[in-house]
């Protein structure tokens, strides 16, 4: 049996609430439920039980020093017909990129082939369908420079994801805490 899985940073409740408060009615935009807001570090797809055991062992060994990460600004993916509205992390976060690299090393060691596309860290806020970038422009301008929250990152979480008629349901499977003396 296999599970659809991903690795992410969980957001504190106050941060999720702040981001959820950005939701305004825009035709063609479906805002994610507050309990699904997170920052994906690696999407794994279907993971079978034998690989999952190795995956858990490898993830438990991933260590970087705890660090702070701002959630700030908004943007979209999809060009003139955006498909995703997101909150960003600003720029220049070497610990986040080190964590991403160490996670991918662990995934490869566990026998998985994670997505190799460029890492653009973000929190997905909404999905858009048949919405023009011009329609979203006022929202993007209003929140482009907003500072939403500052996270203290002390670990990450392995999630399973079940697809249903109302979207995905995410279940935390394993939380991995960093050792305070870890080095990048």
User: What is the tens place of the pLDDT at every residue in 20-48?
Assistant: 999 999 999 999 999 999 999 999 999 99
Q: How far apart are CA 47 and CA 69, in angstroms?
A: 29
Catalytic residue among 38, 100, 102, 170: 38
Q: In the chain, what are the domain boundaries? A: 2-177
Q: Report how far residue 40's alpha carbon sits from residue 156's, in angstroms, rounded to the nearest whole number.
A: 10
Say which residues have a Cβ less than 8 Å from residue 149's Cβ, sequence separation at least 6.
11, 12, 14, 15, 18, 19, 70, 71
User: What is the architecture of the domain spanning 2-177?
Assistant: Alpha-Beta Complex (3.90)
- Could you tell me how many residues make up the chain? 184
Q: What is the pLDDT of residues 146-175, one digit of tens each?
A: 999 999 999 999 999 988 777 778 999 999
Beta-ladder partners of 86 = 75, 124
122 labelled catalytic = yes
pLDDT digits (tens, 9 = 90+) for 132-147: 999 999 999 999 999 9
Q: What is the pTM of this model?
A: 0.91
Is residue 102 annotated as part of the catalytic site, yes or no?
no
| The one catalytic residue among 102, 104, 122, 170 | 122
């Amino acid at each position: 049996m296999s599970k659809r899985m991903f690795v992410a940073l969980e957001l504190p409740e106050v941060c999720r609430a702040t981001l959820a408060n950005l939701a305004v009615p825009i035709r063609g935009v479906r805002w994610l439920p507050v309990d699904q807001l997170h920052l994906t570090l690696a999407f794994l797809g279907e993971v079978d039980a034998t690989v999952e055991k190795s995956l858990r062992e490898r993830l438990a060994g991933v260590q970087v020093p705890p660090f702070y990460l701002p959630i700030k600004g908004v943007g979209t993916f999809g060009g003139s017909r955006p498909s995703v509205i997101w909150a960003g992390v600003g720029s220049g976060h070497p610990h986040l990129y080190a964590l991403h690299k160490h996670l991918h090393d662990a995934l490869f060691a566990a026998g998985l082939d994670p997505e190799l596309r460029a890492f653009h860290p973000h929190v997905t806020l909404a999905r858009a369908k048949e919405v023009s970038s011009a329609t979203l422009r006022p929202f993007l301008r209003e929140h482009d420079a907003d500072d939403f929250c500052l996270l203290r990152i002390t670990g990450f979480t392995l999630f399973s994801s079940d697809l249903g008629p109302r979207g995905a349901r995410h279940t935390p499977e394993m939380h991995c805490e960093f050792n305070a003396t870890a080095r990048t």
